[in-house]
Structure 1
Amino acid sequence: MHRYLCKEYCASMADEVPPREITDPAALRALAHPLRQRILRALAEKGPATATALGAQLGQNTGATSYHLRQLAEHGFIEEAPELAKGKERWWRSPPKDLRYRMDKDQSPEMRELLEGLVAQHITDDVEMFQRFRAERAELGEWADVMPFSRGAIYATREELDAFCEDYLALLKRFQATHAEGRPGARRVLTRFIAFPAPGMNDSE
């Protein structure tokens, strides 16, 4: 079974979490909403926040962010942080997660449409983030030229490609678990992995 693997919102993997396969269209629909994607990214980048703070950051009113936070929480993508609450205010955080999505021919049309939309959002966000990096490079000091980059190709069966991807995820989880944020000289670094069949070739080539 092949999967698109979403690791974008894992702020920390100090506590290992089991993979969660998203098979419910309602859960995927909740996750794929563009504003909710922005909320998840904000919580991952800046940590726990209230609906009011997120609204100010994202240019939305508090009622809208509060509604979308509740929808994300209903499907387990975020959780409350009661230890931060003061009075009636509610704080929310994005816990570590390992989300998996099926990508196979037996997938329902609805799930495929939702997932393709979510993947398109991720790709657009990644391109925009890379453009921001290039635009702000002059302000990054010693980090300005830090951009490990690799292009390659492998020959693999579908099962071997699954195993290859799981090895990458194991490396990512291990590094997240042993390299805490907030250390001197450390900063948030975006990591991306994608593999896809070379176009213009068939199985016999």
Structure 2
Amino acid sequence: MTQPEVPPRELVRISDPQAIRALAHEARLAVLEELFSAQTTRTATELATRCGLTPSAMSYHLRALEKYGFVERAASEGDGRERRWKAAGEDIVVKSFGESPAARYTFLDVQINAFRERIRKEMLRRDAEDASGHGPDEDRAPVLTTGLLFLDEDARQEFTDRMFALIEEFEKRAPQEQRSVDGERMYYMVSMVPDLADQPEKAD
């Protein structure tokens, strides 16, 4: 049986260093995660509630993200009293061409710091849960797991393809009602880096 052709993901490609620097803010990063993952619309008030900001402060950040093409104004819903926003695509590709990598490093720091804070809060929650005697009996998903794999080029490509295919499967599995502003969320961070210890350093 012929498999149906899967349409390519609509990517938002960012190479302007100023646009990359515009992402170096925790609230803006949270907005992008929310809109690109949910693939539905949100108001500034809904996003502000999630980020602990005022609606006016969130509107400022949304306009900045709109300026660089990350988000778009969406069609009004209901009585249309408040503007709605949506992601400008399905995924973001960030790459700075011919520029200092400083903007990308700043963006990376914001991402890592935000995830570090999520891990800290989850560890505190689990400690409190365990101390109260109401911790779950079953094994919980690890807060963080690291390891080392021995992979040649073919195995590395297979592992990467299967890992991202699994992520995409679960991204698409959630029905629209679960993508509401009150829907249950689980954050993840994936990083794969080669061992560079044995590689010679480049001369200046």
| TM-score bracket for this pair, using the shorter chain length | 0.5 to 0.7
| 2:99 counterpart residue number | 108
With the length of structure 1 as denominator, give the TM-score of the two structures. 0.66
Is 1:174 the counterpart of 2:202 in the alignment? no
1:200 to 192, 197, 200: 197
3-state DSSP class of the match of 1:29? helix
Q: CA deviation at 1:69?
A: 0.7
With the length of structure 2 as denominator, give the TM-score of the two structures. 0.67
| 1:65 counterpart residue number | 58
| 2:107 counterpart residue number | 118
Q: CA deviation at 1:33?
A: 3.1
Identical residues among aligned pairs (%) = 25
3-state DSSP class of the match of 2:23? helix
2:11–2:90 contact (8 Å) kept in structure 1: yes
3-state DSSP class of the match of 1:71? helix
Paired AA for residue 146 in structure 1: R
| 2:160 counterpart residue number | 165
Paired AA for residue 101 in structure 1: V
How far apart are the structure 2 equivalents of 1:62 and 1:175? 31
C-alpha RMSD over aligned residues: 3.8
2:9 to 17, 23, 31: 17
How far apart are the structure 2 equivalents of 1:73 and 1:173? 26
| 1:39 counterpart residue number | 31
Q: CA deviation at 1:61?
A: 4.1
| 2:19 counterpart residue number | 27
Larger radius of gyration: 2
When the two structures are aligned, how many residues end up with a matched partner? 182
The superposition leaves residues 90-123 of structure 1 with CA deviations (integer Å, 9 ceiling, x where unpaired) of 12244663222348xx7411xx111101111111
1:88 to 1:127, Cα distance in 2 relative to 1, 3 A: same
How far apart are the structure 1 equivalents of 2:116 and 2:195? 21
3-state DSSP class of the match of 1:32? coil
Paired AA for residue 191 in structure 1: Y
1:79–1:92 contact (8 Å) kept in structure 2: yes
The superposition leaves residues 27-67 of structure 1 with CA deviations (integer Å, 9 ceiling, x where unpaired) of 2122223332243346568x744334544554544433212
The unaligned stretches of length 5 or more in structure 1 are 1-14
1:147 to 141, 148, 153: 141
The unaligned stretches of length 5 or more in structure 2 are 1-6
Paired AA for residue 150 in structure 2: I
Q: CA deviation at 1:143?
A: 8.9
